[in-house]
Amino acid sequence: MVGKVLPVCRVGTWMVTLAKFSAIVLIIVMANLGTEWLVERLNLQIWPEHLESVDRVVLIAVILYIGLMATPFLPGIEVGLILMTTLGIRGVLVVYVCTIVALTISFWIGKLFPTQLLVSFLRWLNLGRAAALLNGFDTTPPEDRLEFLADKASTRILPTLLKRRYLLLALLFNVPGNVVIGGGGGIAMMAGMSRLYSFPTFILLTSFAVLPGPILFVLSKSFP
């Protein structure tokens, strides 16, 4: 009898977990659809017949771009492309600076974010092992966290990646489709939460890591 009850309980737990994940995915999808609608409206406002309101729209676009880039799972590249296409070289510089500002904001929020709140969220999702690992990581002194992660690694590649974490972070910022793992904002926020990156080092790394996008855009316009 007990053997029959336990599987039923596990199935029930997994069903609840699946429902929670589905709700989160739905919220993310709806947020992305809302973002696409905003971007379309923004693009329409920069057509030639609306030139009298371009300055105001550009300011709104800059604020929107920073907000989208700083928020996990929300794509901001479309707004960045609109700014670069509309303003040319000045737009490329604006997008470059705004990207650094947005990622720095996300990193700073991650630094201040209470890790125990994320632990509680993982427990709410019935991800007990992940919650326990994160809780152990959070209670480990910052100078010992690399060793803690290396000890908990199930594969040999993780310690190698941790030693090259700065290069890994730069690569993650430039991986196509990184919105699946949180996008630039989510990656920067997790970097801040990890406490494995210092603030000055993060800004310096980000300044170089986000260069490929603007450079490729300029080259594509120079050599069509």
Q: Return d(Cα 94, Cα 182) in angstroms, integer.
A: 23
Distance of CA 182 to the CA centre of its chain: 4
* Residue where the block lists tokens 């336990």: 6
127: tokens are 């991800």
83 Cβ contact list (under 8 Å, min separation 6) = 58, 61, 62, 65, 91, 94, 95
For the chain, give every domain's residue range. Answer: 2-222
Residue 3 has pLDDT above 70, yes or no: no
Q: Return d(Cα 183, Cα 68) in angstroms, integer.
A: 10
For residue 34, what pLDDT is reported? Answer: 82
Residue 7 has pLDDT above 70, yes or no: no
Residue 56 has pLDDT above 80, yes or no: no
Q: Return d(Cα 161, Cα 157) in angstroms, integer.
A: 6
Question: Per residue in 60-102, pLDDT tens?
Answer: 888 889 999 999 988 788 888 888 888 888 889 999 999 999 9
Q: What is the pTM of this model?
A: 0.81
Question: Per residue in 111-134, pLDDT tens?
Answer: 998 888 888 888 888 888 888 888
